[in-house]
Amino acid sequence: MTAFEEFGCLPEISKAIDELEWTLPTDIQAEGIPLVLGGGDVLMAAETGSGKTAAFCLPIIQIVWETLKDIESGKTGGGTSVSPAWTMSIMDRGSALAVASDGLRVQSREFKEWHGVRCTRGVSTGKWGYEATVTDEGLCRVGWSTLQANLDLGTDRFGFGFGGTGKKSNNKQFDNYGEPFGKSDVITCLYDGDNGEIRFLKNGTDLGPAFKLNKQQLNTAYFPAVVLKNAEMSFNFGDKPFKHSLPPNYSPVISAPKEKVSTNTNAQNSSSQTAKIINNAPQAIIIEPSRELAEQTYNQIRNFKKFLESPKIRDLLVIGGVNVKEQISFLQQTGADIIVGTPGRLEDLIQGGYLSLANCRFFVLDEADGLLKQGYTDFIERLHRQMPKITADGKRLQMIVCSATLHAFEVKKMAEKLMHFPTWVDLKGEDAVPETVHHVVVKVDPQQDKSWITLRRRIPTDGVHAQDNVKPGMNTPEALSEAVKLLKGEYCVRAIDEHKWSAPSSSVAPRTTATTWKST
């Protein structure tokens, strides 16, 4: 087993890494890969050249490929992920609320707003109950609601909740009831559709009637419902034994006969949702602040995925300076599972309806501090809003943010707003760059040093601006980017000559070799 396989990478990916002659993961890879594979949101900072790109690309490639394989073999979708039939709905829920793949555990890490969810099924006549257990600290309110109720349970006429602070609420009226509850407490929620009553038990102790329902209110079905603020709860609708027995004559909701059960129509198709491959709806979107970085990341992805067959992962580079029609026709005809791009062109394709975010489950911001400084905060937030927080097959949107520093105010603010309990991997300042790498600091200013005009013949660059109209004397961003590369190449060659460093055979000496100069 290779070192990368020990960190959870597939043998096919590990083989591609072997070909690159990487023997061990770098520190950021050793920390980042298992975190992303484990399903978490990750914020990472490490020195330039520490291998950040592979730290997020490798696990994303792996999960995207496994998902494609599952779709191909018909393994994903409602049939398996939304079972049993009584589950919390992945459709009828607040945007920041996550429903686990079995539909029996829900979590919201939003600590400023309440986010709720309703069950896929409800009951009408009869006496029914279910159990809700508080599995993490936070605020929660649990109970019953009709399909008309909003998801903030207890704040309109149609929802009836019991909250952890020891209050019952309906129609925004909060009254003392029972006693407070918290982590590990089990709340039994009881609905009596025959006598028009809702009551609760705490750890098996009956807290007495909470709400009386009149005839008109009983004309409709009641659904288990919960609303959370930075909290987590798990549910048992009766497919396992209850922790505390129900009072006499009550039965678990799961045993309600068909004629007494209503389906959650707010959650249309939720029980038959199937993950599908849609050509223009990728599973991963990676945003880079410059064309050069986008191209580098894209090339790394191509290297890493080369041994992953049936299905093949489809990738697309979406950057400016390339004919947009080609990108559109690639999306329509071949399709893409992973897209690496820069904000401007991504925005054009999304706005034009050519690129859909409906299947996106990885949202990566590389060099996020750079993106935010360039004014893309609104763009990032808009994309995030459009992405489903849980995909059709029940997978949570994962966000990965790389930044030169995790302590920048804008990065922290964005992480707080958009990310879901991210793990911080902060290796900034730690020496992650091998000793064989020499650092050279030179001031590069192509507007002062015009020597790049003559260097064009002998310093080869990465060609990112090959299609652009880059001419000596021009001050366009493309011309200056090209000029910086030429000057960096020249200064490095001079530094090597000056210090008589040895350079690997494929590297910089002599100055006419194939090394291409990039902007990083």
Ligand X SMILES: Nc1ncnc2c1ncn2[C@@H]1O[C@H](COP(=O)(O)OP(=O)(O)OP(=O)(O)O)[C@@H](O)[C@H]1O
CB of 306 to ligand X, least distance (A): 15
CB of 297 to ligand X, least distance (A): 8
CB of 30 to ligand X, least distance (A): 9
Is residue 22 part of the contact set for ligand X (CB under 6 A)? Answer: yes
Distance CA 70, CA 393 (A): 11
- CB nearer ligand X, residue 109 or residue 485: 485
- CB nearer ligand X, residue 325 or residue 437: 437
Applying CB under 6 A, among 11, 49, 472, 477 the residue interacting with ligand X is 49
Q: Reply yes or no: is the peptide bond before residue 311 cis, omega within 30 of 0.
A: yes
Which residue blocks in 20-148 are alpha helix, DSSP H?
Answer: 27-37, 52-72, 78-81
CB of 29 to ligand X, least distance (A): 6
Is residue 48 part of the contact set for ligand X (CB under 6 A)? Answer: yes
- CB nearer ligand X, residue 467 or residue 520: 520
Distance CA 171, CA 160 (A): 8
- CB nearer ligand X, residue 54 or residue 142: 54
- CB nearer ligand X, residue 45 or residue 390: 45
Task: Say if residues 431 and 138 touch (Cβ distance below 8 Å).
Answer: no
Is residue 503 part of the contact set for ligand X (CB under 6 A)? Answer: no
Of 22-30, 304-312, 384-392, 461-469, the segment contacting ligand X by CB under 6 A is: 22-30
Task: Say if residues 393 and 273 touch (Cβ distance below 8 Å).
Answer: yes
| Paired residues of 139 in beta bridges | 229
- CB nearer ligand X, residue 228 or residue 364: 364
CB of 459 to ligand X, least distance (A): 19
- CB nearer ligand X, residue 19 or residue 381: 19
**Best CA proximity match to 411, nearest among 422, 395, 397:** 422
Q: Is 397 helix (H, G, I), strand (E, B) or coil?
A: coil
CB of 44 to ligand X, least distance (A): 9
Of 18-26, 165-173, 189-197, 268-276, the segment contacting ligand X by CB under 6 A is: 18-26
- CB nearer ligand X, residue 52 or residue 118: 52
SS (H, E, C) 302-331: HHHCCCCCCCCCCEEEECCCCCHHHHHHHH
- CB nearer ligand X, residue 53 or residue 89: 53
Is residue 29 part of the contact set for ligand X (CB under 6 A)? Answer: yes
Task: Say if residues 35 and 56 touch (Cβ distance below 8 Å).
Answer: no
Applying CB under 6 A, among 26, 76, 155, 273 the residue interacting with ligand X is 26
Of 19-27, 61-69, 111-119, 490-498, the segment contacting ligand X by CB under 6 A is: 19-27
Distance CA 128, CA 378 (A): 47
Is residue 39 part of the contact set for ligand X (CB under 6 A)? Answer: no
Q: Is 382 helix (H, G, I), strand (E, B) or coil?
A: helix
- CB nearer ligand X, residue 281 or residue 433: 433
Applying CB under 6 A, among 184, 255, 272, 520 the residue interacting with ligand X is 520
Applying CB under 6 A, among 13, 25, 158, 163 the residue interacting with ligand X is 25
Distance CA 79, CA 91 (A): 15
Distance CA 156, CA 350 (A): 37
Length of the chain: 520
Of 45-53, 161-169, 194-202, 354-362, the segment contacting ligand X by CB under 6 A is: 45-53
Q: What separation in angstroms does the CA of 35 have from each of 3, 44, 258, 396, 399? A: 16, 11, 43, 14, 11
Distance CA 299, CA 183 (A): 48
CB of 520 to ligand X, least distance (A): 4
CB of 49 to ligand X, least distance (A): 4
**What dihedral angle (degrees, nearest 10) is formed by the CA atoms of 26, 28, 29, 30?**
80
Of 20-28, 155-163, 245-253, 271-279, the segment contacting ligand X by CB under 6 A is: 20-28
Of 41-49, 94-102, 175-183, 192-200, the segment contacting ligand X by CB under 6 A is: 41-49
Task: Say if residues 120 and 271 touch (Cβ distance below 8 Å).
Answer: yes
Task: Say if residues 108 and 226 touch (Cβ distance below 8 Å).
Answer: no
Distance CA 504, CA 327 (A): 37
Distance CA 126, CA 25 (A): 60
Of 17-25, 62-70, 205-213, 476-484, the segment contacting ligand X by CB under 6 A is: 17-25
- CB nearer ligand X, residue 101 or residue 300: 300
CB of 75 to ligand X, least distance (A): 32
Is residue 236 part of the contact set for ligand X (CB under 6 A)? Answer: no
Is residue 36 part of the contact set for ligand X (CB under 6 A)? Answer: no
Task: Say if residues 261 and 238 touch (Cβ distance below 8 Å).
Answer: no
Binders of ligand X in range 50-109 (CB under 6 A): 50-54
Of 43-51, 255-263, 280-288, 307-315, the segment contacting ligand X by CB under 6 A is: 43-51
Neighbours of 100 (CB within 10 A): 19
CB of 448 to ligand X, least distance (A): 25
362-365: strand order across its sheet: 315-318, 338-341, 284-287, 362-365, 398-402, 42-45, 423-426
Query: Site for ligand X (CB under 6 A): how many residues?
Result: 14
Contact footprint for ligand X (CB under 6 A): 22, 24-26, 29, 46, 48-54, 520
